[in-house]
Amino acid sequence: MWRVGFVFESMQTGLASLSKHETDFSYSLLPTPYTPPTNSSRYPRPRSSTQQPVIVKAMKAENIMTPNPLTTTKGETLWEAAERMLAHHYGGLPVVDEDGRYLGVLEMDDLLPRPENIPGAPDVLALQLFDKWVDEHSIHDFEGIYKEKPVEEVMRTEVPVLKPDDPLRVVLDKLIENLYRRMPVVDEDGKLLGIITRGDLLRLLMGRK
């Protein structure tokens, strides 16, 4: 009898131990919520539903323009204006009078000769600069014209102007839709305050201005 009692007691002890192990094991199988590292770029933290988007402050022409830009005058020769453009790597200059009032814009494109058909020979092209035929093999022809012709005869006067408080949408509309490379910003008296180029707009939109 003592042997049977011993075996029965051992079985009870074993079952109690097995029950405890099974209970512990079952708890180990419960899923544990995964929390990704907050400092890992691979697991960006999701935006909260209450988080507000960043609002960029409204920009105006006076915030975008390059103030006090380099200029030329209507009485300067094209040679003088071109030297200033090349020295400062500009593609154009605003033209002002002696009081600083805006008159127009001189673009580098306007200083370059254009291939045109020779009258009477439609299949033959030659270079024409300001209504003068020039020899493409002679630099002296170009130099002579640049040094004798004033800026006033070549500058563009149809370029519209911007006001300092014009919003960004107006600046974009006038500069891009009208295919202008640069536009002046003037005050109520017509005095030049600054210039806005396409590069200025691109720097602004890339956050570099």
Residue 56 pLDDT exceeds 70: no
Q: Is 7 exposed, middle or buried (0-12, 13-18, 19+ CB in 10 A)?
A: exposed
**What does the pLDDT read at residue 59?**
86
**What does the pLDDT read at residue 118?**
74
**What does the pLDDT read at residue 116?**
77
Residue 101 pLDDT exceeds 50: yes
pTM, full prediction:
0.66
Q: Which residues contact 135 (CB under 8 A, 6 or more apart)?
A: 127, 141
**C-alpha angle 174-175-178 in degrees, rounded to nearest 5:** 70
Helix (H) or strand (E) holding 127: strand 121-129
Residue 169 β-bridge partners: none
pLDDT tens digits, 28-55: 444 555 555 555 445 455 555 454 443 4
**What does the pLDDT read at residue 13?**
55
